[in-house]
Structure formats: C-alpha cells, structure tokens
Structure 1
Amino acid sequence: MTSRRKGADVLVAGAGPAGSAAALALATAGADVVLVHREHPSRWHAGESLAPTARPLLEHLGILDRVTAHGHRPCYGHHSAWGQDTVTASDFVGGPYGSGWHLDRPLFDRSMREAAREAGVSHHSGCVTAAVPAGDQWRVTVSGAEVVAPYVVDATGAGARVARRLGARVLATDHLVAVATVLTGAGPQGDTARGNTERTSLIESAAFGWWYTAPLPSGQHIAMAVTDPDLVARAGLRTPAGWSDALATSRHVRERLALCGTRPPQRLTVLRAGTSRLSAAAGPGWVAVGDAATATDPIAARGITTALATGITAAGALTACAGGDEHALERYADLASAVHAEFLRARMVCYRAGRRWDTPFWTRRTEGRPVIGLGEAGRVADARPGSWR
C-alpha cells in the first residue's frame, strides 16, 4: 500500500549534477520540488575534471563558491598526444573563465544536493518504479510511496529509466567502455612529483583506443583505458596485470604515472562511456536532463558541464510551460537534439585527427560510421518568463 504526497509541482528522479541543478533552478523559480535520490555508499567514483566553462553555470545557480571552495584542486588544462608522438597543450589559464577543477566527485554531488535542499527542495530516498498519467498529473511511485506532480524530470543517467517508461527510446551510437583504476603513489617521490604535474589531464591515443589520466584531490591518480567492449580482451585489459602490460606500451601516460611513483593497479572497474541520446528529450509533462538526454564520449570532457546546462535549461522550459508557453518543452527537446548532433559531427573530426592505426577501434570511427569528438559544452537557452505561483 502506498502513501500519497500531494502538492508537488515537479518530481526530479536522480540527484547527480543534472538533477540537482534542475531541482535547484526550479526551486529558485518558486516551484515545489521533490528530488528522488538513492544513496549508494559503495558506488565507485572515477573522479572527474570540470571545465572552466562550468563557472558561469554554477554562478547562474548561485553556488559557485559553495561547490568549488573546498575539497577540489585546480585543473590548468588538458595535454594530449593525439595522432602524434608529441604532446600538445590546451591551457585554461589564459581563457575567459580561468582554471577548471579536478573534482572530489562525491563531495561535489553532495554540495549540490545540500544547496537544493536549502533552497526548499524536498528529498525522497528511493527510486522511481512507476509513473502513470492521471489527467494533467503524474502519479509516480517512489519505493512504496506515491508522489503526484504535473511534471517529471528524468535525471537517471544514460539508461533514462523514467523516460523509457514514458515511451521514449534510447538511441545508442556506440557502447564505449572505460577500464579504469585509481592509482596510489609510492611515497615521498610520488608526493613530490605530484606538485610538478601542473594539475593537467593527459590523453594519449593507442591502437585499441586511448588512455586518460589525471590527478585527484586525494593525491591519487585516475587512469583509464577507453575502448569498445569487444576489444577489451584483445587489448589485454581484463586483469590488472594485463592492464599494466598495456600501459607499458604507452609513452606519455606511462611516464607521467611513473614520475608520480604510482603503484600497479589492484582493482579495475569497467565504466559505461558510450554515446547515446533519447529519441526525444521531452514530452507532455516531462523532460530528460544530463546523460538521460544526451550522453557523450568522455573524449569531450563535457559530461558535468552538459549536466548543469541541461538541468538549468530544462528548469527554464518547465517554468515557461507552467506559465502557459505551450511550446517550451518542444523547444527544449529540439535544442537537446541539436547539441547532440553538433557533438556527433565534431567527434568525427576529433577521431579522424587521432587516427594512427588501421585497427578496429579507429576504422569504426573514421570510415563513414557515426563517431565521437570534441563538442560544445552545452548552452543555456532562455525560456519565456513563467511562474509557479
């Protein structure tokens, strides 16, 4: 038997950066918001970099100082050996927004949830198990309870669990994976070297795909091999020993990790890293944000920035819709589709520039098939003014 909570304007399913941004922006606009979130204490976080282009988005939400003041480290740019032996640098310092951040990701997510809560968002522990239309409302079952609201936001990640219940389809371009680990330094040598890595991330192409490494706020390093699922075994990436042997064939990533005195990996985690989008990022009474709307290859380094941008933009569209703009959600869906299409075009350029091998990974991405590249971080679209009261 379920209990009913009446009076909510919006239910947001998922409290990652996209869901929290949407909930916070909606609450700031005056909406009564329920944010559904299930804690996963054992979930492994790879750690991520946040680009400087996220700065105006965090300022828009009023939380820049709150979520970046403590626990994170500056990221001064990206280095890459992409389609060549030499390393090229893309530095943030001279840009309009300054440095980015190497995030303590669990801390970042908690900070955003806390900001949403302080703005008046109600938190509900659990997950959405059903969403049924009832007139102009949704009756949403959340782990045994029922929430009634006219609008639903899907922020459940690339699986888009809620939107699929409402009839949307996930359209996958590929099923890229990252075989990742967190490496610990061997002692004083690693501690000293960490101060000389310039707080940059590093990408290096390889026959099976590409390598990525970056320092974490903890003093450890994230390192991952990115490839297609059917190539993992062929590249020897299934075991820590095989992964280490593959790393030894790299040049720049191997040298950086050796400089930092990192120990061999003890554990590997396979992370979903594919590109996909929803057939439509919105419909009558619902929107999808973040990876649920548009999930992109990590080569773009834009995941969290896009999450924030789509959360803010979707909140504006919902507010406009509640204020009588009948086309607000349709415009949001069109924008999400256009941003994803732009990304697909740019990723083709990116992977063509990185090709050095006639191997399956690269031929799949450079011979007329859909591929992944560096796209725009996302835009915040202005919606017509609306009101929740």
Structure 2
Amino acid sequence: MTRGGDYADVLVAGAGPAGCAAALTLAATGADVVLAHRPHPRQWHVGESLAPTARPLLDRLGILDRVASHGHEPWYGTRSVWGDSTLTASDFIGGPYGPGWLLDRRAFDVSLRDAAREAGVRRHDGSVTAVSRVGQLWRVSMSGTEVVVRYLLDATGASARVARRLGAHVVATDHLVAIAAVLCGRTPAGDTGSGAERTSLVESAPFGWWYTAPLPGGRTIVMAVTDADLVAPTGLRHPAGWWEALTATHQVRTRTCVRGNRPPQRLAVLRAGTSCTSPTAGPGWAAVGDAATATDPVAARGITAALATGVSAGSAVAADAQGDEDALTRYAELTTAVHTEFLRARTACYRAEGRWTGPFWTRRRRDPHASP
C-alpha cells in the first residue's frame, strides 16, 4: 500500500510493550505502520520486572542493547514464602539468559516507542473511536482522524476495546486487583533483607499474597494482591489498613518496614485479573498482549508474554500479507492453547498453598475452566 497520511498497511492500537513489539516486527518487513497511542500517565504498573527469557525477544526486535543500557537494575531471582513459612529461592544465576531487569517502566515504555519511531513507525496521539470493514480493508476513526488500513492490531490492554468492536468477547477468569504503593525510605545499616539485594519477594497471606521488589532510584514497590470484592472487607483500600496488613507479614515486613518508611499517603488499585479474548484473531486483525491473554501476576510473565504475542502477531500479519491464509488462524490457536495451559499451571500454583481457607484461595483451587 502506498505510504500516505490517510493510508497505511497496519494500524496498531496501543503503544505498550505488545503494540511496540508488533510494530517493530512489521516495520522490519517494510510495512507502513501507524501506532496509535493516547497518553495517560500512570505512576505504577502491576508488572515492574522483566524475566531473563525476554532477552531473545528483545534481541530479535533489535532493542536488547537499548534496554540493557537504559538504567534498569539487574533482577537476580525470586524469593517466596508459599505453602509453609520457609523462605525459598529461585535464582537466575546459571540460567541460559543471565539476570532479568527490575524496570523503570515509564522509561522502558518510552524506549520501545522511540525504537519504533526510529524504525519508521508513524505515531498518532489518539485512540480508536470507530471501525468499519470496507471490502478487504478497515476504515478506522481515531480522535478526529480517519485512516484506511489492511490490518488492525489491538494492543489496548485487557479491555480489548478494538477486538470487542470486531465481535470478539473477553472471558474473565477472576477479578484480581493489586493495591500498590511505592516506598522510598532508607534501609538501616547492616540490613541485608532490603530491596538492595535485587530480588523480588512473594509472600502468601490469608487474603491473597504480597509482592515487593526494588526499583531504580532506591525505591521499592509493594503490592497486596487479592480479589476486587475482598479489598474492602480486608481493609486494604486505606493506607492505614494496608500498612497494618503489611506489618503482619514476616519476610515482606523485613524488607519494607525500614527507617524512613511510614504508611503510604495514597494507594493505587490496579487491575490484575486473568482473562482471554475469544477469538484472538480473525481476517485482517489480531489482538496482542493483555488484549489477547492477560495472566495472573503471580506468574511474573506479563511483559514477556506481551512482547511474545506482539512478535508472533506481527509475524502472522506479515505471513498473511504474503499469501499464507492460515497464519492468523494459527496465531489465534496458539494464544488460546498457551492461555489454557497457563490456567492449569495457575491452579497447581495456588493449590500448593494449603494453609489458607478464605474465599480467595478456595476460588483458585477449583478447576481452571470453572465459571468465574
């Protein structure tokens, strides 16, 4: 298709990791790509770490060196208190890819968008407001502008706003939320349990579980993870109740209740539920990232999965454009199969914690294909 202001080969709606990965993959094939992005500042993200398994994906996208040199801290592994009171370790040392990263998410996302721009991807500051099919093309309205494209990729997050406009539906498995704060207190001298050790920590609790990890700049992110309907009964919505629950932990308290830290003045409630869009692709379109499959953050795979689906969908679109009529169907089947396997693994993970009997835990010990 001829490059121009009103036409493009592909429109990617959403400029997070999944959307940028798809745009970079397609730009590498010579496609004319428009990346639609509506800025909406967020102070925190549910996912602040990037697993070592993302390295091959970043390398394929040509941005591994950019990410590695962008000031993110190394992530050496995970500590967990799960199933009993023992602190266990899962380290990346000796693995094939080396350490992961504890991200400055804002800087990470900006670097991906900059890479896409440098690769020739055009950016539009706005969101998709209407979509219609015109023969084999899409006519897309975006905040007062109209563009005609051959392919449309939905990277709008778990809401899958574009895919739902095309007839897909989102199947939610739960309504998980993370109540998050960023703490900035100084660590007491000699405290080796601080965030400075560059590992993340997960600790189960009667209402769900806690997550904490160091962030660049000496900060620490701390999240209480539970179901949306359990936030009020547990008192986690208010800083005082959240802090009281934190001080009842063992390992998380050791890391976070340090000199200078006090109950946070405010909390962010972030959506973290598991869901899958059905279907995840169709003629001329595909969903990527959380718009395709959103997974429980206990798996610590959100950003890596976003990059992977972006690369896979971009490759499927390129193959379809070359005449492979089954490419998008294969992509849809693959994402559905991966999500189904994740549900099984998630159930096994939660069943391994048998100390708690509250509603959060009983819900997750059910068959993964049971109704929400």
C-alpha contact (below 8 Å) 1:9/1:150 kept by paired residues: yes
* Cα distance change of structure 1 residues 6 and 159 upon mapping to structure 2, 3 Å threshold: same
Distance in structure 2 (CA, Å) of the matches to 1:53 and 1:260: 35
**Does 1:200 pair with 2:162?**
no
AA aligned to 1:246 is A
Distance in structure 2 (CA, Å) of the matches to 1:79 and 1:110: 29
* Cα distance change of structure 1 residues 286 and 190 upon mapping to structure 2, 3 Å threshold: farther
Distance in structure 2 (CA, Å) of the matches to 1:28 and 1:194: 45
C-alpha contact (below 8 Å) 1:47/1:216 kept by paired residues: no
AA aligned to 2:239 is P
Report the counterpart of residue 21 of structure 2 in structure 1. Answer: 21
SS of 2:21's partner is helix
Report the counterpart of residue 285 of structure 1 in structure 2. Answer: 284
Distance in structure 1 (CA, Å) of the matches to 2:241 and 2:210: 14
Report the counterpart of residue 343 of structure 1 in structure 2. Answer: 342
Distance in structure 2 (CA, Å) of the matches to 1:148 and 1:190: 61
SS of 1:132's partner is strand
Which stretch has the larger CA shift, 273-282 or 358-367?
358-367
What is the CA distance between 1:263 and its match in structure 2? 2.8
SS of 1:332's partner is helix
What is the CA distance between 1:126 and its match in structure 2? 0.4
> What does residue range 63-102 of structure 1 map to in structure 2 within 5 Å?
63-102=63-102
Report the counterpart of residue 143 of structure 1 in structure 2. Answer: 143
AA aligned to 2:357 is D
* Cα distance change of structure 1 residues 190 and 223 upon mapping to structure 2, 3 Å threshold: farther
**Does 1:237 pair with 2:236?**
yes
C-alpha contact (below 8 Å) 1:348/1:370 kept by paired residues: no
* Cα distance change of structure 1 residues 369 and 313 upon mapping to structure 2, 3 Å threshold: closer
Distance in structure 1 (CA, Å) of the matches to 2:49 and 2:58: 15
TM-score, length-scaled by structure 1: 0.91
> What does residue range 1-389 of structure 1 map to in structure 2 within 5 Å?
5-41=5-41, 44-45=44-45, 48-185=48-185, 187=186, 189=188, 197-259=196-258, 262-368=261-367, 370=369
AA aligned to 1:200 is T
* Cα distance change of structure 1 residues 118 and 181 upon mapping to structure 2, 3 Å threshold: same
Superposition CA RMSD, Å: 1.8
Distance in structure 2 (CA, Å) of the matches to 1:369 and 1:324: 37
C-alpha contact (below 8 Å) 1:37/1:123 kept by paired residues: yes
What is the CA distance between 1:258 and its match in structure 2? 2.4
Distance in structure 2 (CA, Å) of the matches to 1:366 and 1:175: 15
Q: Percent identity?
A: 66
C-alpha contact (below 8 Å) 1:5/1:148 kept by paired residues: no
Distance in structure 2 (CA, Å) of the matches to 1:146 and 1:350: 46
* Cα distance change of structure 1 residues 58 and 139 upon mapping to structure 2, 3 Å threshold: same
Distance in structure 1 (CA, Å) of the matches to 2:47 and 2:340: 27
SS of 2:232's partner is coil
Q: What count of residue pairs does the alignment treat as equivalent?
A: 367
Distance in structure 1 (CA, Å) of the matches to 2:338 and 2:314: 17
Residue ranges of structure 2 left out of the alignment (5+ in a row) = none
Distance in structure 2 (CA, Å) of the matches to 1:343 and 1:45: 21
What is the CA distance between 1:366 and its match in structure 2? 1.1
What is the CA distance between 1:261 and its match in structure 2? 5.1
AA aligned to 1:114 is D
Which stretch has the larger CA shift, 205-214 or 229-238?
229-238
Distance in structure 1 (CA, Å) of the matches to 2:22 and 2:368: 34
Distance in structure 2 (CA, Å) of the matches to 1:288 and 1:191: 48
What is the CA distance between 1:46 and its match in structure 2? 5.1
* Cα distance change of structure 1 residues 280 and 191 upon mapping to structure 2, 3 Å threshold: farther
* Cα distance change of structure 1 residues 194 and 166 upon mapping to structure 2, 3 Å threshold: same
SS of 1:59's partner is helix
Distance in structure 1 (CA, Å) of the matches to 2:174 and 2:195: 36
Distance in structure 2 (CA, Å) of the matches to 1:142 and 1:318: 22
Report the counterpart of residue 377 of structure 1 in structure 2. Answer: none
AA aligned to 1:347 is R
What is the CA distance between 1:313 and its match in structure 2? 0.5
AA aligned to 2:293 is T
4+ residue segments displaced more than 6 Å: none
AA aligned to 2:102 is H
SS of 1:9's partner is strand
SS of 1:11's partner is strand
What is the CA distance between 1:86 and its match in structure 2? 0.9
SS of 2:197's partner is coil
C-alpha contact (below 8 Å) 1:51/1:101 kept by paired residues: yes
Deviations 1:278-299 (A, max 9, x none): 0111011000000000000000
Residue ranges of structure 1 left out of the alignment (5+ in a row) = 372-389
Distance in structure 1 (CA, Å) of the matches to 2:196 and 2:330: 44
* Cα distance change of structure 1 residues 349 and 236 upon mapping to structure 2, 3 Å threshold: same
AA aligned to 2:354 is R
Distance in structure 2 (CA, Å) of the matches to 1:141 and 1:25: 24
Distance in structure 2 (CA, Å) of the matches to 1:327 and 1:196: 47
TM-score, length-scaled by structure 2: 0.95
